[in-house]
């Protein structure tokens, strides 16, 4: 009986220690989430408007100089930029992003995958490690962006993707990431990066008539790379905020589960303790009765 009590006490101490860790991680994630949420909320309207502007220009352009990044061609080689996190303990955040990337490959690029023409750029260690272990063509060049998340570091990845597309190393580039909604909700997205998608015109819609100064070619050459850099940066900020929200939620649930386990263990401990006391009392009474007899 004493051994059983000691075992339950040890389990209670272990759960309490784990609960302290989960509570601390929740507080850290909450602090990081506030900063990450502010960053993406400020960035999102700016990035959305720039993307609309770029798509409109591409849709109304007749091709020519500077339009290489909007060139549609048969898809032989594919690049997926999969944005996960460097650490786990964030619920299903990383698993859902990886699952979406695999589903995209299976549904859209299965033939290219069979030929070995699908490349993964894993931004975040979790995604890269998964694809590398599972025999995908995973490139670690931009795996560590989250160690120093700045626009300049993201710009290097974006410019490398643009250069590779222009040199026909890839015929399509897609982003797989988690769009931040709130701390408890993330929306997992696949978004075309290159070639730049055109605006789908509704039936009966009139064509926009723009007057460009300077010329459209000059504007495209300057604006296009800048807007694409912003698009990738926005996706990474979205994933960063989603990660902290998912981890905060996961650690909150873990703390609640620890409370339930502690409640159950304390009931078990009290029952065992009462049983031990009852046994001791019974032995004392039996011993006294034997002496009297």
Domain ranges of the chain: 29-200+208-251
pLDDT of residue 67: 72
Residue 288, pLDDT > 80, answer no
Residues in the chain: 293
pLDDT of residue 289: 74
Residue 293, pLDDT > 70, answer no
Kindly report the CATH number that applies to the domain delimited by 29-200+208-251. 3.40.1380.10
Residue 64, pLDDT > 80, answer no
pLDDT of residue 154: 95
- pLDDT confidence of 156, banded at 50, 70, 90? very high
Mean pLDDT of the chain: 87
Residue 5, pLDDT > 90, answer no
Mean pLDDT within 210-225: 74
Mean pLDDT within 79-84: 97
Which of the pair, 202 or 255, is modelled with greater confidence?
A: 255
Which of the pair, 222 or 95, is modelled with greater confidence?
A: 95
Give the closest residue to 226 by CA, choosing from 155, 163, 169, 157. Answer: 155
Give the closest residue to 225 by CA, choosing from 144, 160, 143, 150. Answer: 160
The pTM for the full model equals 0.84
As a whole number of angstroms, the distance between CA 228 and CA 231 comes to 5
Whether the CB-CB separation of 134 and 212 falls below 8 Å is answered with no
């Amino acid at each position: 009986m004493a051994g059983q009590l000691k075992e339950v006490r040890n389990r209670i101490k272990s759960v309490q220690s784990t609960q302290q860790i989960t509570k601390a991680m929740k507080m850290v994630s909450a602090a990081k989430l506030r900063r990450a949420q502010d960053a993406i909320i400020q960035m999102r309207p700016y990035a959305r408007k720039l993307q609309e502007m770029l798509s409109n220009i591409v849709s109304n352009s007749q091709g020519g100089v500077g339009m290489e990044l909007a060139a549609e061609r048969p898809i032989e080689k594919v690049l997926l930029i999969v944005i996960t996190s460097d650490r786990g303990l964030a619920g299903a955040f990383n698993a859902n992003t990886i699952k979406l990337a695999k589903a995209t490959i299976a549904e859209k690029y299965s033939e290219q995958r069979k030929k070995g023409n699908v490349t993964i750029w894993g931004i975040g260690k979790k995604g890269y490690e998964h694809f590398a272990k599972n025999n995908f063509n995973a490139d670690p060049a931009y795996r560590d962006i989250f160690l120093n998340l700045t626009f300049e570091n993201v710009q290097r990845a974006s410019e490398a993707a643009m250069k590779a597309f222009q040199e026909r190393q890839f015929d399509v580039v897609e982003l797989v990431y988690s769009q931040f909604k709130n701390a408890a909700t993330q929306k997992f997205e696949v978004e075309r990066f290159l070639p730049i998608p055109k605006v789908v015109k509704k039936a009966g819609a009139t064509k926009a008539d723009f007057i460009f100064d300077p010329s459209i070619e000059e504007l495209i050459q300057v604006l296009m790379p800048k807007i694409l850099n912003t698009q990738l940066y926005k996706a990474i900020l979205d994933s960063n905020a989603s990660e902290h929200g998912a981890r905060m939620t996961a650690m909150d649930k873990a703390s609640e589960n620890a409370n339930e386990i502690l409640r159950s263990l304390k009931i078990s401990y009290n029952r065992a303790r009462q049983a031990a006391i009852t046994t001791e009392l019974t032995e004392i009474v039996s011993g006294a009765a034997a002496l009297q007899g």
